[in-house]
Structure 1
């Protein structure tokens, strides 16, 4: 009788967690997460519309965001210097240099005002920084 109890105990120890997990998973797949509407919104475990792949950002967007943050933390002069270095170091970024410099000019105007922002102007990417400061 002792061996039979052990066998039953082992079987339950192996089967019970599987049953609990499966029953919990199946219960969650049919829980409505919103108020009932004409179309029933239901969360399913295998949704075809779910996307788990995050889109990678373009290098020029990453650079722009980094330089805008740098402008806020330090000053536009530092950001413009790093923009010039990045454009010189990676020729693929050169085509985006004017747009980034203009964005830096706009951010500098918002932070420092038009007059002080113009004092940081440099010949980086033509006059795009100055144009950004002037834009309203």
Structure 2
């Protein structure tokens, strides 16, 4: 009887987080996070603070997902990973062309968060944005 209870407890311990993450992903994806922002605004924001014109031309040739990742990593370093994840969600909602890159961006944010905050603190910011790829990046970098 005692072993059966342990087996049930272990099964719940494995299944319950998966159910919570999936339901959280669905909830987050259905919430309108902010007003509409165009991809041009995201690119402009990412290209700000470029000192030399040559550097600006180089930035313009980079892919939008790379510019977004750079902007989010900088934002994460200035504030925290939670803010960067919120802005990633907004960017994907505002520009669906970024959706295929969402998981890799979130994973890279997780790895960067480990470098800045350490594995334990970085994991505390994890939430279901882009199928919990942030948590995967934290785990891979730890």
| TM-score scaled by length of structure 1 | 0.59
Larger Rg: 1
Aligned length: 84
Q: Give the deviation of 1:111 after TM superposition.
A: 1.1
The structure 1 segments of at least 4 consecutive aligned residues displaced by more than 6 Å after TM superposition are none
Hey, what does 1:43 align to over in structure 2? Answer: none
- SS of 2:61's partner is coil
Q: Give the deviation of 1:113 after TM superposition.
A: 1.1
Aligned CA-pair RMSD: 1.3
Hey, what does 1:4 align to over in structure 2? Answer: none
Hey, what does 1:96 align to over in structure 2? Answer: 101
Unaligned residue ranges in structure 1 (runs of 5+): 1-52
- SS of 1:121's partner is coil
Aligned pair partner of 1:115 in 113, 120, 124 = 120
Q: Deviations over 1:54-82 (max 9, x none)?
A: 57111111100000000101100000000
- Rounded to whole Å, the distance in 2 between the matches of 1:77 and 1:135 is 19
| TM-score scaled by length of structure 2 | 0.57
Q: Deviations over 1:78-129 (max 9, x none)?
A: 0000000000110000000000000100011111111111110010000100
- Rounded to whole Å, the distance in 2 between the matches of 1:114 and 1:57 is 30
- Rounded to whole Å, the distance in 1 between the matches of 2:69 and 2:113 is 13
- Rounded to whole Å, the distance in 1 between the matches of 2:62 and 2:115 is 25
The yes-or-no answer on 1:83 pairing with 2:88 is yes
Aligned pair partner of 2:135 in 127, 130, 133 = 130
Q: Deviations over 1:24-82 (max 9, x none)?
A: xxxxxxxxxxxxxxxxxxxxxxxxxxxxx857111111100000000101100000000
Larger RCO of the pair (alpha carbons < 8 Å, separation 6+): 2
Structure number with the higher helix fraction is 2
